[in-house]
């Protein structure tokens, strides 16, 4: 009879090895959220008219738009995100933002004061003051964008509900750095026949609650897992948008809201020695569209009448504005109001007629 030998390998993995890390970008309850600030120059009064009325429609790619809109970033955007992971895994985590880190230069301006004459005396013992001049000085600055800045480890409390629907074991979602777990609420646990079962037993080494057989019930727990906090610095997104999409974003900005276009989100890749995950969040801008202007006829503290449009009284004419001389399909139809009636809370009415409107413009 021959001998039979075999090697048996048992792998006891920890919770941190099972779930290396998780990237959380929304509802982080963190300060420091800032939109990308852009400089804008309205290159033509015709687009001011379009936005002022707010009732224009456009067609075509609008390739003829040649302007500085969205092209100059004054201040990059910022957002804080969380990476839930163990203390050991945190050392190897690396974040990549969009296409990677880049450096851009911008100009900052401030008044610089300098003395041009010293104190002097005159008759009667009076003293002349020093004389100064102020110069508007340009300061060149550089800043990094599309980068992640590590802000350290945090341990904030979270509340989590664990529900059994015929399972035996439930695991905490973020069991990192062996947090203390507090049971805040608990139901009676029963088996599939309705018989009462003992309460779940907590395993502090695995971050799991286990019942004696398949169970139905729920508990609510509170604990403080460890996570790494990062500050994400991002740009306008021009490098990740196609030329056609970038043109659509500029057109949407002109019409009042850049998010009416498919604005590319800020995309993140988090990598460690064990795994890699992805995430994204909305890219915000300031201003997010052509700034709106409001007019007030009364700046005092007195009560101001509120006027509303009387339905059915509006009269309009539509003119077509060609956006690109070389593309007949790139245009905006502008619906101009020529007559309108309004009424206040007391029933008083007014009539407004726009004179000298050139319908052929």
pLDDT at position 21 over 90: no
pLDDT at position 64 over 60: no
pLDDT at position 129 over 80: no
**Mean pLDDT value of segment 196-216:** 95
3-state SS string for the chain = CCCCCCCCCCCCCCHHHHCCEEEECCCCCCCCCECEEEECCCCCHHHHHHHHHCCCEEECCCCCCCCCCCCEEEECEEEEEEEEECHHHHCCCEEEECCCCEEEEEEEEEEEEEEEECCEECHHHCEECCEEEEEEEEEEEEEEECEEEEEEEECCCEEEEEEEEEEEEEECCCCCCCCCCEEEEECCEECCCCCEECCCEEECCCCEEEEEEEEEEEEEEEECCCEEEEEEEECCCHHHCCHHHHHHHHHHHHCCCHHHCCCCCEEEEEECCCCEEEEEECCCEECCCCCCCCCCCCCCCCCCCCCEECCCCCEEEEEEEECCCCCCCCEEEEEEEEEEEEECCCCCEEEEECCCCCCCC
pLDDT-based confidence at 138, cuts 50/70/90? confident
**Mean pLDDT value of segment 129-149:** 83
Question: Per-residue pLDDT tens for 245-283?
Answer: 998 998 888 777 899 999 999 999 999 888 899 999 999
Question: Per-residue pLDDT tens for 79-127?
Answer: 999 999 999 889 999 999 999 999 988 777 777 877 776 665 555 555 5
Predicted local distance difference test score (pLDDT) of residue 177: 92
pLDDT at position 291 over 70: no
**Mean pLDDT value of segment 11-15:** 44
Q: Which residues contact 285 (CB under 8 A, 6 or more apart)?
A: 35, 36, 37, 38, 70, 77, 236, 253, 258
Average pLDDT of the residues of the chain:
79
For residue 23, the cross-strand partners are: 83
Rounded distance, CA 227 to CA 89, Å?
A: 10
| Nearest alpha carbon to residue 355 among 317, 322, 320, 308 | 317
Predicted local distance difference test score (pLDDT) of residue 285: 94
Q: Which of 10-14, 250-254, 284-288, 348-352 has the lowest mean pLDDT?
A: 10-14
pLDDT-based confidence at 20, cuts 50/70/90? confident
Percent of the chain at pLDDT above 70? 74
Predicted local distance difference test score (pLDDT) of residue 235: 95
Predicted local distance difference test score (pLDDT) of residue 183: 97
**Mean pLDDT value of segment 325-350:** 76
**Is 125 or 343 the better-scoring residue by pLDDT?**
343
Neighbours of 245 (CB within 10 A): 16
Predicted local distance difference test score (pLDDT) of residue 31: 77
Predicted local distance difference test score (pLDDT) of residue 18: 62
């Amino acid at each position: 009879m021959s001998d039979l030998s075999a090697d048996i390998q048992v792998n006891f993995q920890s919770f941190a090895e099972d779930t290396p890390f998780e990237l959380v970008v929304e509802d982080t309850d963190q300060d420091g959220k800032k939109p990308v600030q852009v400089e804008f120059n309205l290159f033509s009064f015709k687009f001011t008219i379009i936005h002022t009325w707010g009732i224009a429609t456009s067609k075509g790619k609008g390739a003829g738009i040649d302007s500085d809109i969205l092209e100059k970033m004054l201040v990059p955007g910022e957002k804080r995100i969380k990476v839930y992971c163990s203390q050991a895994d945190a050392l190897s985590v690396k974040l990549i933002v969009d296409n990677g880190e880049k450096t851009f230069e911008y100009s900052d301006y401030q008044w610089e004061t300098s003395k041009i004459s010293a104190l002097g005396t005159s008759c009667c013992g009076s003293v002349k003051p020093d004389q100064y001049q102020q110069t508007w000085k340009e300061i060149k600055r550089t800043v990094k964008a599309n980068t992640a800045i590590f802000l350290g480890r945090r341990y904030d409390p979270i509340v989590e509900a664990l529900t059994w629907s015929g399972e035996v074991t439930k695991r905490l979602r973020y069991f990192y750095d062996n947090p203390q777990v507090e049971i805040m609420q608990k139901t009676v646990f029963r088996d599939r026949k309705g018989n009462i079962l003992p309460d779940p037993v907590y395993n502090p080494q695995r971050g799991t609650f286990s019942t004696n057989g398949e169970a139905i019930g729920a508990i609510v727990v509170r604990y403080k897992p460890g996570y790494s906090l990062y500050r994400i610095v991002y740009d306008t997104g021009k490098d990740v948008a196609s030329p056609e999409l970038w043109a659509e974003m500029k057109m949407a900005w002109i019409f009042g809201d850049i998010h009416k276009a498919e604005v590319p989100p800020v995309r993140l890749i988090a990598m460690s020695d064990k795994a890699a995950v992805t995430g994204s969040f909305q890219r915000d801008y300031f201003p997010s569209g052509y700034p709106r202007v409001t007019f007030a006829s009364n700046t005092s503290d007195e009560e101001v009448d509120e006027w509303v449009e009387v339905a059915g009284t509006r009269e309009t004419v539509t003119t077509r504005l060609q956006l690109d001389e070389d593309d007949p399909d790139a245009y905006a139809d502008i619906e101009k109001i020529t007559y309108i009636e309004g009424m206040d809370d007391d029933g008083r009415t007014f009539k407004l007629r726009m004179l000298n409107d050139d319908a052929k413009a």
